[in-house]
Every structure is written in structure tokens, then in C-alpha cells.
Structure 1
Amino acid sequence: MEPARGPAIEERAEGISQDQQTALLKKDAEIADLKQQLHVALENWSKWEHRAHDVEQSTQRQIQDLKRQLNLTTQRLDDKSKMLGDRIEELASAQAFVTTADQCSTAEVSSMVEQLNEDIYQCAAFMVDAIFDVRNSRRPVDGQMEAAFAKAQKEARSAMVERWDENLVNRLEADLSSEENVLVECLIQSMLVKWCYEITSPFFHESRRTRRTLTQVWKGIGSLKGPAVANNWRAMTFSQLKTKEVDTKPTADKIDSFMIFCGWRHQAEAGNLPTKVNEKLRELAQKARKIKEMAFEGILSTDVRTFYPSVEDRYDPSTMQDGHDTGKVEAGGRIICSTGLGVEAVAKRRDPSTQEKTRRLVALKSSVLLASTLGSK
């Protein structure tokens, strides 16, 4: 049988129970508070986790965007670098066209043309001597050969009339009969002057069509890009055309026809005259080509060229000189033919109104045979 508890014990037991309950309640409150804090912490952590995830995604997007921009920028840089390289190459090429540093002077060209004129005179004098030597020492020939000579001379006369005119040919025949050599010599000089002029022309070529085409291109470049670019283009073109030797045969044939008209014959005493004539023509051609090379490759700032007046021109003392210095020179006098090349420098520029201005400077006058020298009207 359980002993009965007294009042004191029961009171003490109740006190302990209340203390425990209070402690438990306190612990429960603390636990609840901790749970609340944990819940808040978990919510905050979740929020921060979501935010960190969003930031990470945003950062990844930015990184990807920056990578794309970097790739585009790199590609553009490569394109710009290539374009810059192309432009540098183009500039170098263009610079080659606009460079106008001259390697020789107009005076040097004029000096060479003077020497060429002297060589032309010596060549003509050599042929005149050969003509009169044969005329004065002609051997008798049979009738058949004489008829052949007469036929050849008639054909040569027709060519002479076509090249000049009937009156001049008649005067030449009279001079030959009286052994006057001035007109004979000057007409040979005239043929050689014209031939050397063609060789020294900007685009000398056997094909007239090719010459016209190249000349038109050169003038077109000059109009669009200016003389510096045009002259450089001409120099480059000439460097490709100059490799071919000049064909002397057409000119040799013309001179042969002229000499036959004057009485020269292909006979034994003529010796190797045709060979000597061809040698002299080749020498003239080489010197003319050298002049052209100096004028078109050595001088780029100015258009330096040879010239000679036509028979339609009248005597102009500013561009011509009397080849025989007779003292009867008058401006406006009639010209028979040209006996020497002249040299002129032509400079072109544009003024502020974009109008092209041309300045012509005659560095060497062209020699001519005047009608007054022959005593004609």
C-alpha cells in the first residue's frame, strides 16, 4: 500500500512541474524562433540563389555577346587591315604614275636632235654624191636595159609627183640637168626628217590603227588624270613597244625610188651603195629611238617632242630657221620642205576655273628650205 503524500510534497511536485513546463515552453519558444530564423534564412538563401543564378545567366549572356562583338571586331579589323594593304599597294602603284622627277633635261634632248639633224645632212650628202657620181660616169648599156631604166624612172617620177607636186618635180629635173644639188639634197633630208619624226613620235608603230588607239588613250588619260599620270603611262607603254626594231625597208624603198628618178642606176659601178644606205638608216633609227627614250622616259614633268612644219605652213622665225641662211628670210615666206627636226616642250596645267592651259616652248627650231633660197616666187 502506497504511503500517503503530504501537502508539502505535493506542493513541491507541482512547483517542479511548473518549472519544467516553463522551461519546456521557453525551449519551445526558442525552437520556434530558431525555426523561424531558419525559414527566413532558407528563404533568403533561395532568393540569393535565384539572384545569383540570374546574375550568372546575365553574365553568360554578356560574355557571349562580348565574344560575338570580339569576333565581329576581329573580322572587321582583318578586313580593314587587308583593305589598308590594298590601298597601300594602290598608292604605291599610283605614286609610280604621278612621280615626275626628270632624269634628263630638254637641253639634252635638243642636243641629241641637233646631232641627229647633222647625221641626216651627212646621209643626204652621201646619197647626193652617189647620184651625181653615177650620172657623170654612166656606162653605155644595150637597148633592152636602157628601156628598163626608163620604165623604172617613169614609175619613180609618178611616185615623186604623188609625194610632192608636178612643179617641184619639174624644178628638180632642171636642177639635176644643171647639176644643182641643193634641192636634191634637201628633199632627201626631208624624207629622212619625216621618217625620224615618226620614230620619235609618242606611239610609233607599223599599224596606224594601233598608233591612233594608243594616242587616243594617252590623250584621254591626260584629260581625266592630268599630264603627270598620262606621261608616266606613256613611258610605261613605250618601254613595252621599244623592244621591236624599226623596219628600214619602207624608207629605203622610197629613197631608192627617189635616187632612180634622179638618175642613179643599179649597175656595177654603184658598188654596195644599197647596203651602205641601209646601214646609215639603221644608225639614224637607233639615234631617233634613243631621243625618244630620253624624251618619254627621262622627262615626265613636261611633254617634250620633236616637230617639223608642213609645206602648207608659212615661215615663222619663232619656230623655224633658214637651213641655208641666205639672208633673204622673211616671215610668211613659202616653205619647200623641212630639212631638220625641231624640239618643243609643251606644259599643260589647269587654272582655278578648271580651264586647261597649254604653254609651248621651242627649244630647237626646225630647219627649212625656203622658196626664196631657190630663187622661186
Structure 2
Amino acid sequence: MQLTHGIPLSIVATYVGVAGLSMASVFGAFKFLTLWRHVRLSRYKADKDAAAAQLASLRHALSASQALVREKEARVGSLEEDVGTAKKRLEEVARELELSRVQNQTLVDRGKSLATEVQWLNGETQRLNHDHAQTVELLQTRTAELKGAQAFLTKADHLSGADVIGMVEGLNSEIMQIAAFMAESFVSEEKMKRGVTSEEESDELRDARGQATEVLGTNMVELLRTFQHQDDPILIQIAFQACMCAYTHWIISSWYFEDPEIEHVLSEIFARVREAEEQAISGRWRALTRTYLHRMLGHEPDMSMYMVDAFVNVLITAGYQEKPAALQDRIMNDFAGRIRVILQAAQRLNRSIGEGVTSCDLEALYIAPSVPYDPTTMEDAFETTPKDKATTPEKVLCTTDLGLVRAEKVSGAVGEWQELVLLKPKVVLPSGLDDIVSGGE
């Protein structure tokens, strides 16, 4: 079928035939056709423009898609590079992981080996510590044994005999000075008078005389009671010296001042040790025992009142008219410092003789009242001893100066000692006071 400008010819023919078209009709038809063509062209143009717009849109979309594709391709390329890099890194990590696993296994094996070694070392350490502890304990035991043996076997003395002699002579000098000073202080007073008769004696006087007799002996107490002391203080001075010698001798020789029972026990023990053991052993036993006794005691007891009581007994026996308590107070107030000097010197001698000398035994030598005079071991304080040796020895009135004797155990013998008087004690004999007594009666 042919088309005329897009309109089928059959339609045109029909249209012409049916209507009996004239030329005008034909012109109208032509005009219609022209109009239709114009409409068609307009529609075509619109479609074309729409298609062109759509094409442009599609081209734009295509361009955008292509750009997106290119971007994605670039990204994919980058990702592929990253993936490649990651794969390489993964491979490296895998290799490193494998290496680490191998190293870890090596370390685990080494750790197990070291743990076994540490366990063995701990066992060895414990064994060595145990051996060390035993060695230290044994060393301490041996050290203590050697120290103990050294303490008992050493013969080194801290003081010589001459040193101790000087200390005793210094003590005697102090005793004489304070005795003379005190005697002068009391006899010049009106309260001192000749002794009273037995009927006039008070209980205080009898008690004082009894205690004075225990220290000075009967003969010296009788001289004190009957002598006129205001004329000469010598007898009171001698009595004071004798009292101080008696008490300082006790202090120097004592083991334990504060308990007579302990003193007796320790003296008995030392006597047996001294008799059975060698001098080095008994001397060190004495030194160590004295040392630890002083540490246990912790302080030096004040024995001033013992000596003050003795002075009071001498003064009351000699006729001093005063109550004992008042006399004690006065003596303590006026002479306490000098009395303590005497006591401290005696205590130093106790330590020096007891702890500082072990090669022998040094003992302060004191002669008790009524002991027969022996010029080989004593010295007459007034040098009035008869020269005739056949004369019966006088009996000692009292001791005014302490002496010093050295005794050393004979090695290998039991109860046998070599004794030597280093310093003779000075004693007062009745003959030495004859002129004094006859002049003071």
C-alpha cells in the first residue's frame, strides 16, 4: 500500500469517491494533508527533540556511568594492588608467623630445659644453703669453744702487782686522812667526855659498844671507853681507821654485796674450783663470774651507812653525848663525800683484783683483832715491837692499813699455793699505845 505523506492512498481514494470531491474538495483535502503533515512534522520534531534530549540524557548518563566505571576500575585497580600488597604482606606475615612458631617452639623447649635446670639449681641451692647453715653453726660452735678456751687459758693480766699495790696504798692514805679529820672534828667538842660507869650505861650505849666490839675487838673498845679523848684524838682516829679497813676489806673481797647467802655460796664454789683446777682456769672462772655478777647487779650499792654506823658506834663508845640518829645525820652531812671516795676506791679494787688479774690471786690483807703479831706478814704501825724474838708475840689491837698478798696455785698440786706478801698491813699493838694511854688517863 502506497502512502501519501504518510496517509494511505485507499483512504484518500475513498474520501474522494464517497464525497464526490470537487477541486475545492481536493484543495481542502490537500490542505488537510498539508495540515496533517505539519502536525506530523511537529510531532516528529517533538519526538526528535525528545529523543535528542533523551539521547543527550542517556549520553550524559552514559558519560557519568563511564566515569563511574573508570573510577570503579581505578578503584578496582587500586584494590587489586592493595589485595596484591595484602597478599604479599599476608605471605610475609605467614612466613613470620611460621618463623615465630618455630622460634616459640624453640623457646618453649628452651624454657622447659631452663625450668629443669632451675629446678636442679634450686635443689643444689637448698643443699648448699643447708651445708652452709651447718658450716656456720659449726663455726659458731667452734668459735664459742675457742673463745671459751681462750677466756680460760689466757694468762694476760690487765694490771700488774705494782699497780694494785699503788691502789691499796692510795686507799690507805685516804682512810688515814679522813679518819684524822673526823677525829679532830669531834673530840674538840664539849659533848665528848670520859666514859660513864656501867650503872649509868643506856641501852643505846650498850648496843653501840657491842657492835663496836664486833669490829674492833674487846681491848680496843675498852681503851675507847676509858681514855680521855679531849686531850688527844689519836685513839678515835685509830678506831675510825680500823673500821674503814674492816669494811673496805670486806668490799674488796666480796663476791656479791647485797646477799650474804649468795656471797657464801660463791665463795665456797670458788674455793673448790681454786683447789681442784690450775691457776689459769680458776683465775678466769673468778674473773668471768665477777664480771657477770656486776652486770647482773646493774649498779654499785651505796654502803655508806654501814661505815657511818661504825663511826657512830665508835663515838658513842668513846663518850660522845649525842643520839645515834643525830650523829648519823651529822656524819652524812659533813663527811658523806669523803666516805664515798673511800667506798669507790674499795669497789675499784674489787673489780681490779677480781676481774683484771688471773695469773694469780691477789687478796687484800686484813688482820683481825687478837691475832698474834707476825712481823713476816705484818708491820707495826708505831714500830714499838720488842727486838727480843723470844718474847711472846703481842696480840693485834686493830688494823689501820690494808696489805696485799699474792697467791698462785702450784701446778699439778691439789690445795697447794705459793704465797707472797706484796704489802704488809699495818697493825696497832698494845705496846704502841702505852705512852699514849698512860698520858691520857
Task: Please say if 1:249 is aligned against 2:249.
Answer: no
2:407 corresponds in structure 1 to 346
- Which residue number corresponds to residue 5 of structure 1? none
Range with bigger deviation, 177-186 or 226-235: 177-186
- Name the residue aligned to 2:181: 126
Report the Cα distance in structure 2 between the residues aligned to 1:78 and 1:270, rounded to whole angstroms.
Answer: 63
Say whether residues 1:323 and 2:408 are aligned partners. Answer: no
Asked if the contact 1:175–1:181 (Cα under 8 Å) also holds between the matched residues in 2, the reply is: no
Instruction: Measure, in 2, the Cα distance between the counterparts of 1:269 and 1:314.
Output: 34
Q: What's the CA shift string for 1:2-21, capped at 9, x where partnerless?
A: xxxxxxxxxxxxxxxxxxxx
Q: What is the CA–CA distance in structure 2 between the aligned matches of 1:181 and 1:314, rounded to whole Å? A: 26
In structure 2, the residue matched to 1:195 is 247
Matched ranges for 1:162-173 at <5 A: 163-164=215-216, 167-173=219-225
Q: Which moved more, 1:275-284 or 1:362-371?
A: 275-284
CA distance in 2, matches of 1:204, 1:319: 28
Equivalent-residue separation in structure 2 for 1:230 and 1:169 (angstroms): 40
In the alignment, does 2:241 pair up with 1:182?
A: no
Note if 1:337 corresponds to 2:413: no
Instruction: Identify the residue that residue 107 of structure 2 maps to in structure 1.
Output: none
Quote the RMSD (CA, aligned, Å): 3.5
How far the C-alpha of 1:82 sits from its partner, in A, is 5.0
Structure 2 match to 1:369: 428
Which residue, out of 406, 419, 422, partners 1:360? 419
Alpha-carbon distance in structure 2 between the residues aligned to 1:320 and 1:110: 15
Shift of 1:191: 0.8
TM-superposed CA distance for 1:205, in Å, is 1.5
The Cα shift of 1:264 comes to 3.3
Name 1:99's counterpart in structure 2.
154
Amino acid at match of 2:410: R
CA distance 1:288–1:329, shift in 2 (3 Å):
farther
Q: Kindly tell me: are residues 348 and 330 of structure 1, through their superposed partners in 2, closer, same or farther at Cα, counting changes over 3 Å?
A: farther
- Alignment-mate amino acid for residue 369 of structure 1: V
What residue number does 2:279 align with? 227
Q: Is the partner of 1:185 in helix, strand or coil?
A: helix
| Change in CA separation of 1:108 and 1:235 when aligned onto 2, cut-off 3 Å | same
Compared CA separation, residues 165 and 80, structure 1 to 2 (3 A): closer
Per the TM alignment, residue 320 of structure 1 is displaced from its structure 2 partner at its CA by 0.6
Residues 78 and 358 of structure 1, relative CA distance in 2, 3 Å threshold: same
Q: What is the alpha-carbon distance in structure 2 between the residues aligned to residue 180 and residue 313 of structure 1?
A: 27
Q: Which has the higher contact order (CA 8 A, sep 6+)?
A: 1
* Letter in structure 1 aligned against 2:359: S
Structure 1 range deviating more: 297-306 or 82-91: 82-91
Number of residues of Structure 1 aligned to a counterpart in Structure 2: 295
Equivalent residue of 2:190, what SS? Answer: helix
Could you say if the C-alpha distance between residues 365 and 312 of structure 1 is closer, same or farther in structure 2, counting changes exceeding 3 Å?
same
Match of 2:166 in 1: 111
Say which SS state the counterpart of residue 409 (structure 2) adopts. Answer: strand
Three-state SS of the structure 1 residue aligned to 2:274 is: helix
In structure 1, the residue matched to 2:94 is none
For residues 321-355 of structure 1, give each alpha carbon's deviation from its aligned partner in whole angstroms, at most 9, with x where no partner exists: 1112236466622211111100011000224xx44
Contact 1:346–1:360 at 8 Å: present in 2 too?
A: yes
The runs of 5 or more residues in structure 1 that have no matched partner are: 1-74, 139-147
Distance (Å, rounded) in 1 between the aligned partners of 2:405 and 2:287: 18
In 2 relative to 1, CA 246–232 (structure 1 residues): closer, same or farther, beyond 3 Å? farther
Q: Deviations over 1:197-247 (max 9, x none)?
A: 011004141211111111122223334442222222222222234432332
Q: Identity over aligned residues, as a percent?
A: 26
Cα distance in 2 between the residues matched to 1:297 and 1:121: 27
Specify whether residues 119 and 81 from structure 1 end up closer, same or farther in structure 2 by C-alpha distance, changes over 3 A only: closer
Say if 1:305 and 1:344, in contact at 8 Å, map to a contact too. Answer: yes
Paired residue type of 1:203: W
Shift of residue 172, structure 1, vs aligned partner: 2.1
Superposed displacement of residue 170, structure 1: 3.2
Give the number of the structure whose alpha-carbon radius of gyration is greater. Answer: 2
Residue 245 of structure 1 aligns to a residue whose secondary structure is coil
Name which of structure 1's ranges 162-171 and 235-244 shifts more when overlaid on structure 2: 162-171
Q: Partners in 2 of 1:240 and 1:78 — Cα distance? A: 30
The one-letter code matched in structure 2 to 1:317 is P
Query: Please, which runs of 5 or more residues in structure 2 have no aligned partner?
Result: 1-129, 194-199
Is this contact kept in 1: 2:381–2:428, CA < 8 A?
yes
Equivalent-residue separation in structure 2 for 1:264 and 1:246 (angstroms) = 26
